[in-house]
Amino acid sequence: MIDSVDTPVTSPCTVLHLAHNHPEFHAGGTEIFARTLAAEQRRAGLARSQFLGAALPQHRRPHPGTAIAADPSESGDFVLVGGRFEARSLSQADFGYLQDLGRVLEAVRPDVVHFHHVLLLGLESILLARRLLPSARLVMTLHDYYTICSNDGLMVRTDGELCQQASPGRCAHCLPDSGLINQRLRWLAVRTAFEQIDQFVAPSHFLANRFIQWGLNAERLAIIPNGHPDAEHAHRPRPRHRAASAPLVIGFFGHLNTAKGLTVLLRALQRLRDRSADPHGLPVRVVVHGSDRFAPDALKDELAALRSDLGALVRVHGAYSQPDVHRLMQAVDWVAVPSIWWENDPLVIQEAFLNRRPVLCSNIGGMAERVEHERTGLHVPVGDIDAWADALERIAQDAELTSRLAAELPMPPSMAHCARAYHALYNNATV
């Protein structure tokens, strides 16, 4: 396993980045990173980079007779719409969709095809790239655990227990409907596709070790932490000054889905209120910024009930655009990341550090790797409502802790540094 990459930069190459979503339609961390990396490589003259984001028909209407559409805001980039993706097998079953992807590959003829995900694109996209471009270097950044976990890539078992290792047998036991044979076939399909990849990248050591444990050769895996586009040029704000009589404000930022653990945070606030001698004077507030567009109905109902019960203690503001995140974070004292899955290298933690906001996070996976306990934030036992209530109470009562941690927060890696590291990796990758 290579820990980052730093070699002299050679002449620019042509790179095509492929992601499973497009930030214009679904602003997730993976697609934001992939598109921003491509833009930085172009800006710095490191590569002639282009971006292709997959999209569902409800996000972008396909043109008749083709799945290819122009990027809505960046000329030269692409959107690939539609298809018939099978999530359990990671297979793209629409031959016409793959033909259109092949047309893009043949038109761009990149020196490097950089995969950031296989959702919507399918494992077949890797095999297609290798067949059409036999001399190209194929690189894959592993942003999550989808390729090794059939339960939405969470590495969490269906009973809520954290999964420690993926295997066909364990996955079949966790998801009995899928069956052992289908899990074995999926495992073989992933292995076959992965054999075509020249170089893998993991943004965190935790994720890298999970894939090595699964069977990926450590010598084919480099560690390059994700960069943030604002890290090099941003004017960092001062730590937020809070009047002694003002409540502490905890911010939650991200999509409202079960794995992100917002219910853990709100139930902890509820628990803290219930055990307080003065529940109406509770010195903590939670503000929520994020969309519930893809949340299951049961979660929406649960969140609505919690909001109703907590009243003025919680405010939900809905979706936000990425350029607004700094302004929104500067209105809170802490950022909470209560995820009940492992995470990898959460963008929200980078954004919190950039804005000098300490992070209250679950004590597992990529969160625990990025946040140093008692230095850049606090670790809280994952999913433990009482422990989260205790943590909220502690930071509400200890103003010095907030000031001390905010002063210690490091600047996240810049996208410029990240782009140089990837360029060096492209030059070192061998077919």
For each of the chain's 431 residues, which pLDDT tens digit applies? 666 555 444 568 999 999 998 888 877 889 999 999 999 999 999 999 999 999 887 666 666 678 888 777 776 788 999 899 999 999 999 999 999 999 999 999 999 999 999 999 999 999 999 999 999 999 999 999 999 999 999 999 999 999 999 999 999 999 999 999 999 999 999 999 999 999 999 999 999 999 999 999 999 999 999 999 888 766 677 777 777 678 999 999 998 999 999 999 999 999 999 999 887 789 999 999 999 988 999 999 999 999 999 999 999 999 998 889 999 999 999 999 999 999 999 999 999 999 999 999 999 999 999 999 999 999 999 999 999 999 999 999 998 999 999 998 999 999 999 999 999 999 885 44
What is the CATH number for 141? 3.40.50.2000
Residue 235 lies in a domain: no
Residue 240 lies in a domain: no
Residue 232 lies in a domain: no
74 shares a domain with 32: yes
The pLDDT value given to residue 166? 92
321 shares a domain with 424: no
Task: Give yes or no for a contact between 92 and 126, defined as CB atoms under 8 angstroms apart.
Answer: no
Residue 239 lies in a domain: no
255 shares a domain with 208: no
- Non-local CB neighbours of 30 within 8 Å, separated by 6+ positions: 19, 20, 21, 116, 117, 143, 144
42 shares a domain with 152: yes
- Non-local CB neighbours of 129 within 8 Å, separated by 6+ positions: 105, 113, 136, 138, 196
223 shares a domain with 74: yes
Nearest to 120 by CA among 146, 88, 82, 67: 82
178 shares a domain with 136: yes
Read off the pLDDT of residues 96-119 as tens digits, 9 standing for 90 and up. 999 999 999 999 999 999 999 999
Residue 185 lies in a domain: yes
Residue 211 lies in a domain: yes
Residue 25 lies in a domain: yes
Structural domain total, the chain: 2
Residue 214 lies in a domain: yes
Return the percent helix, strand and coil in the chain, to nearest 5.
Answer: 40, 20, 45
Read off the pLDDT of residues 397-417 as tens digits, 9 standing for 90 and up. 998 999 999 998 999 999 999
Q: What domain range includes position 223?
A: 2-227+414-428
